[in-house]
Amino acid sequence: MTPTEWLVDTNVLIDIIHDDPIFAEVSIQALEKCAATGVLVINPVIYGEVGAICDSLEELNSLLPVETFRRDDLIWEASFLAGQAFRRYRKNKG
């Protein structure tokens, strides 16, 4: 049986790291639920976005330990599809 893979959104991580008063608790619950049912995954974009709030590589790696978050490369075709989705979003005044 293949475990479920969960690509963790940067905003979920930022909510938790900054202890957001509105979203931190629900983000923690979502992350815990995903971790209990599968593998938490990040990619270079997510790593970089979280890195923007860190003062050092050591701090970043402590926030996103490899024991907790599998680090996957990006698939170029997926990046294109993400761009197309963003295009539709912007076209719809998002």
Query: Does residue 1 register a pLDDT over 60?
Result: no
- pLDDT surpasses 90 at 78: no
Name the β-bridge partners of 77: none
How many Cα atoms are found within 13 Å in the side-chain-facing hemisphere of 4? 8
pLDDT surpassing 90 at residue 58: yes
Would the CA dihedral through 4, 18, 14, 23 be positive or negative? positive
Per-residue pLDDT tens over the stretch 4-43: 999 999 999 999 999 999 999 999 999 999 999 999 999 9
Residues 6+ apart with CB under 8 A from 7: 41, 42, 43, 46, 72
Query: Of the ranges 9-18, 59-68, 78-87, which one carries the lowest mean pLDDT score?
Result: 78-87
Reported pTM: 0.79
